[in-house]
């Protein structure tokens, strides 16, 4: 406990002005909720100048939301706080100097996940720029998902180097990982419990004070900064693990001639006080910007902070294995496609494939790390022609994405269902058959969207992930 820091915080008094660095999916709702709180007088949104950044600054200062997708309450709240003069956006980091606290929400991708080589350059630039303007008695909070050890390590070092101040003595430093999901940004910040990890007790307390006014149902869960970093990485690694567990089971069920969804229903039925299986859903793969990278943040932290870990001792960890199982699923979709084509004397070479679904998640336009990309690439390498449909995603680098479903289904030998868009649940077997113009079109269901019987009885060759009960069905002429 630092008396000096405690005195500095007491002299500064309650937090009244906040700077939020990084105007993205995390920073914008965070800044708007702080600005909307009667506890705070003003919030600066800080965004670096760049082709997209400058456009964001101008839009935000007009009270316009630069995020895609539906975000309940966010647009209204943004307009309200801009009109009230409680929020403005700028690229000028010096505004940090007039604030009592600064949060940093800048993305933290990996250059190479497997090699655990991060690309933290943007985050480190942001931290350096904040460090140039922090003053005594200020609070700095990292909200980005970061490798365990970052807050007490490189972040602390950069802030101290730039400010000539000492963290934990002259300013408070904490990690409060974001837990927001597209489509629920405002609700998640208000209602999710908030993990708060200070580098010391004083910093934890100061950070909890800052978040209390924006929480409605959410509770504060204090811990150390490193424990907070581990919590964030692990909560997503665990979800990825749960998905890998049901994906592996789906492969087993295919091999054993069993319907994985019957098995899942049976397993999920075992629940009573303290007993649960939390079984998730098998599918064509795991995409997005969270689960595909957060395991590797956890792995990197364990490697950097730990000595020798008894297990895996050089072998693949359980969590990385889970990543590999989930990343294998698009290849399994290709295997199912090839197996189906063989049944009608065809191969990938020269086949026309309708790939339905590019977004990584149902009924969304978010196409970050789409599982379908691997299938698309491998199918083309195998000599197939692939046409992609998605009702929400309109563009993707070097991939033509069509919004007219009929045009993609027309003359298709194969229909591969990758994303659980509601639209695809209504695929009409006779209509699809007529459009495909094939005697035995192949349909591969990666998300359990269609009724196999409706398609098999009309001559389709059906394959479904986990559908060992029907994957070798008799061919109906």
Bridge-partner residues for 220, per DSSP? Answer: 194
The site for ligand SAJ, by CB under 6 A, has a size of 18
Interface residue with ligand SAJ, options 283, 330, 464, 468 (CB under 6 A): 283
Please tell me what DSSP assigns to residue 144.
S
Closest to ligand SAJ by CB, 42 or 360: 360
Options 48-56, 58-66, 193-201, 282-290: segment touching ligand SAJ (CB under 6 A): 282-290
Query: Which residue in 232, 293, 346, 433 is the catalytic one?
Result: 232
Least distance in Å: CB of 364 to ligand SAJ?
9
Residue 287 interacts with ligand SAJ (CB under 6 A)?
A: yes
Q: 329 near 465, Cβ under 8 Å?
A: yes
Q: Tell me whether the omega of the peptide bond preceding residue 312 falls within 30 degrees of 0, making it cis.
A: yes
Q: Does residue 95 carry a catalytic annotation?
A: no
Q: Does residue 232 carry a catalytic annotation?
A: yes
Q: 82 near 43, Cβ under 8 Å?
A: no
Options 276-284, 350-358, 378-386, 434-442: segment touching ligand SAJ (CB under 6 A): 276-284
Interface residue with ligand SAJ, options 56, 86, 156, 179 (CB under 6 A): 179
Interface residue with ligand SAJ, options 45, 149, 288, 468 (CB under 6 A): 288
User: Residue 292's closest CA among 370, 363, 227, 185?
Assistant: 370
Residue 461 interacts with ligand SAJ (CB under 6 A)?
A: no
Least distance in Å: CB of 243 to ligand SAJ?
4
**Residue 195, φ and ψ in degrees, nearest 5:** -75, 125
Bridge-partner residues for 464, per DSSP? Answer: 445
Options 4-12, 13-21, 278-286, 345-353: segment touching ligand SAJ (CB under 6 A): 278-286
274 CB-near residues (< 8 Å, 6+ apart)? none
Closest to ligand SAJ by CB, 24 or 371: 371
Least distance in Å: CB of 149 to ligand SAJ?
20
Closest to ligand SAJ by CB, 248 or 411: 248
434 CB-near residues (< 8 Å, 6+ apart)? none
Residue 181 interacts with ligand SAJ (CB under 6 A)?
A: yes
H or E element at residue 21: strand 17-21
Closest to ligand SAJ by CB, 276 or 472: 276
Closest to ligand SAJ by CB, 195 or 354: 195
CA distances from 137 to 62, 282, 343 (A): 32, 50, 71
Q: What is the DSSP string of 182-246?
A: TT-HHHHHHHS-EEEEESSHHHHHHHHHHHGGG-SS--EEEEEHHHHHHHHHHHHHHHHHHHHHH
Q: 47 near 89, Cβ under 8 Å?
A: yes
Q: What is the DSSP string of 308-326?
A: --TTTTTS--HHHHHHHHH
For ligand SAJ, what does the binding mask look like between residues 203 and 242, x meaning CB under 6 A?
--------------------------------xx--x---
For ligand SAJ, what does the binding mask look like between residues 304 and 343, x meaning CB under 6 A?
----------------------------------------
Closest to ligand SAJ by CB, 280 or 470: 280
Closest to ligand SAJ by CB, 134 or 241: 241
Closest to ligand SAJ by CB, 351 or 419: 419
Question: What CA–CA distance (Å, rounded) separates 138 from 202?
Answer: 12
Q: 196 near 226, Cβ under 8 Å?
A: no
Interface residue with ligand SAJ, options 174, 241, 291, 417 (CB under 6 A): 291
Least distance in Å: CB of 368 to ligand SAJ?
9
**CA-angle at 291, arms to 287 and 296, nearest 5°:** 120
Query: Which residue in 56, 95, 290, 346 is the catalytic one?
Result: 290
Using the structure block, give the residue that is written with the tokens 């990385």. Answer: 320
Could you give the residue numbers annotated as active site?
A: 232, 290
**Where on the chain is the footprint of ligand SAJ (CB under 6 A)?**
179-181, 235-236, 239, 243, 280-281, 283, 286-288, 290-291, 360-361, 371
């Amino acid at each position: 406990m630092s008396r000096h820091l405690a005195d500095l915080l007491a002299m500064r008094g309650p937090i009244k002005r906040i700077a939020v660095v990084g105007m993205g999916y995390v920073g914008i709702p965070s800044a708007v909720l702080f600005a909307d709180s009667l506890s705070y007088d003003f919030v600066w949104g800080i965004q670096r100048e760049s082709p997209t950044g400058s456009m964001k600054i101008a839009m935000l200062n007009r009270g316009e939301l630069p995020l895609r997708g539906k975000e309940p309450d966010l647009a209204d709240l943004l307009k309200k706080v801009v009109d009230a003069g409680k929020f403005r956006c700028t690229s000028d980091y010096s505004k940090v100097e007039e604030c009592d606290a600064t949060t940093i929400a800048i993305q933290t991708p990996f250059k190479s996940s497997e090699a655990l080589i991060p690309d933290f350059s943007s985050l480190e630039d942001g931290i350096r720029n904040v460090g140039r303007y922090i003053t005594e008695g200020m609070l700095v909070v990292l909200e980005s998902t970061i490798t365990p050890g970052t807050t007490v390590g490189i972040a602390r070092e950069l802030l101290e180097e730039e400010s000539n101040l000492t963290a934990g003595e002259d300013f408070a430093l904490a990690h409060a990982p974001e837990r927001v999901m597209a489509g629920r940004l405002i609700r998640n910040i208000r209602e999710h419990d908030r993990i708060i990890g200070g580098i010391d007790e004083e910093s934890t307390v100061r950070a909890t004070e800052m978040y209390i006014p924006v929480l409605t149902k959410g509770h504060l869960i204090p811990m150390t900064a490193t424990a907070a970093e581990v919590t964030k990485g692990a909560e997503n690694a665990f979800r990825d693990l749960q998905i890998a567990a049901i994906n592996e089971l789906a492969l087993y069920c295919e091999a054993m001639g069993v319907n994985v969804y019957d098995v899942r229903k049976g397993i999920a039925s075992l629940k009573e006080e303290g007993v649960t299986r939390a079984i998730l859903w098998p599918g064509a793969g795991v995409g997005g910007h969270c689960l595909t990278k957060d395991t590797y943040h956890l792995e990197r932290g364990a490697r950097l902070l730990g000595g020798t870990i008894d297990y895996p001792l050089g072998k693949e960890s359980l969590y990385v294995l889970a990543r590999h199982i989930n990343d294998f699923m698009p290849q399994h979709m290709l295997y199912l496609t090839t197996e189906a084509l063989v049944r009608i004397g065809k191969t990938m070479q020269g086949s026309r494939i309708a790939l339905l679904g590019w977004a990584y998640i149902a009924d969304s336009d978010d196409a970050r790390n789409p599982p379908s990309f691997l299938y698309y690439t491998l199918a083309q390498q195998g000599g197939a022609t692939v046409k992609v449909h998605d009702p929400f995603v309109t563009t993707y680098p070097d991939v033509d994405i069509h919004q007219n479903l009929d045009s993609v289904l027309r003359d298709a030998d194969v229909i591969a269902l990758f994303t659980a868009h509601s639209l695809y649940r209504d695929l009409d077997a006779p209509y699809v058959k007529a459009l495909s113009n094939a005697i035995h079109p192949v349909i591969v269901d990666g998300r359990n969207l269609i009724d196999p019987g409706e398609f098999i009885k009309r001559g389709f060759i059906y394959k479904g992930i986990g559908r060992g009960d029907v994957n070798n069905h008799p061919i109906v002429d």
